[in-house]
Amino acid sequence: MEVPILKQGEFLIATIQAALSDADLEQLRMALIQRVVRFRSRAVIVDVTAMDVMDSFASRTLKEIAQMIRLRGAETVIVGIQPEVAFTMVQLGITLESVATALDLEEGLVYLSQKFKNIA
């Protein structure tokens, strides 16, 4: 299941639409970093609303995506973590401390537009 990545100006929006296998997550990581380079994107939003399980592998892959994108000078925002998923992540001991998060896609876009307005 390939994750569609939408280019919206200087931002990229990746919307996960179904349960992803480990290979799908690794494919997403590669696709995102390639597009950030190609489009000189300033930020990436990963919408995980449809993810019903965020285990240690998925969390680690998202963290790695954010770190790689930061090395390119861009920012990553994870949006749409479901309440049950958030509860489970805390119980598992998973943190996404170094990654920006927002409630949903709309809030993620607000966060980024404010951030980049302040820089400009």
Partner 1 sequence: MPAEESRVPINSDQDIVLARQKGRALAADSGFSSVDATLIATAISELARNIVTYAKHGDIALSALADSGRRGIMIIASDQGPGIVDIRQALRDGFSTSGSFGLGLPGVRRLMDEFEISSAPGQGTRVMVKKWRQERPEK
Instruction: Compute how many other C-beta atoms are within 10 angstroms of the C-beta atom of residue 114.
Output: 9
Which of the residues 14 through 73 are near partner 1 (CB under 8 A)?
19-23, 52-57, 60
Q: Of the two residues 20 and 33, which places its CB atom closer to partner 1 in the complex? A: 20
- The 3-state DSSP class for residue 96 equals coil
Specify the DSSP element, H or E, that contains 113.
helix 105-119
Tell me the site size for partner 1, rule CB under 8 A: 22
Interface characters, 72-91, with partner 1 (x: CB under 8 A): ----------xxxx-xx--x
114 is a contact residue toward partner 1 (CB under 8 A): no
Q: Of the two residues 19 and 103, which places its CB atom closer to partner 1 in the complex? A: 19
Would strands 11-15 and 75-79 be described as parallel, antiparallel, or unpaired? unpaired
Q: Of the two residues 23 and 120, which places its CB atom closer to partner 1 in the complex? A: 23
- In the complex, what is the shortest distance from the CB of residue 52 to partner 1, in angstroms, rounded to a whole number? 7
Instruction: Compute how many other C-beta atoms are within 10 angstroms of the C-beta atom of residue 10.
Output: 13
Structure tokens at 102: 């927002």
Q: What distance lies between CA 116 and its chain's CA centroid? A: 18
Give contact residues for partner 1 (rule: CB under 8 A).
19-23, 52-57, 60, 82-85, 87-88, 91-94
